[in-house]
Amino acid sequence: MSNSHNNEQFENAVKVMMEHVGEDAQREGLLDTPKRVRKAYEFMYGGYKEDPKEILSKALFTSSNDEMVLVKDIEFYSTCEHHLLPIIGRVHVAYIPDGKVVGLSKIPRVVNVFARRMQIQEQLTEQIADAIMDAIAPKGVAVVIQARHMCMEMRGVEKINSTTTSSALRGLFKKDEKTRSEFFSLINSPTHTRF
Instruction: Enumerate the active-site residues.
Output: 80-83, 121, 149, 151
Let me know: does 96 contact 171? Beta carbons within 8 Å.
yes
Let me know: does 96 contact 66? Beta carbons within 8 Å.
yes
Cβ atoms < 10 Å from Cβ of 22? 6
Let me know: does 72 contact 89? Beta carbons within 8 Å.
no
Distance CA 184, CA 164 (A): 16
Which of 138, 9, 132 lies closest to 67 in space, CA to CA? 138
Q: At what angle do helices 3-20 and 33-44 cross, to 10 degrees?
A: 110
Let me know: does 139 contact 98? Beta carbons within 8 Å.
yes
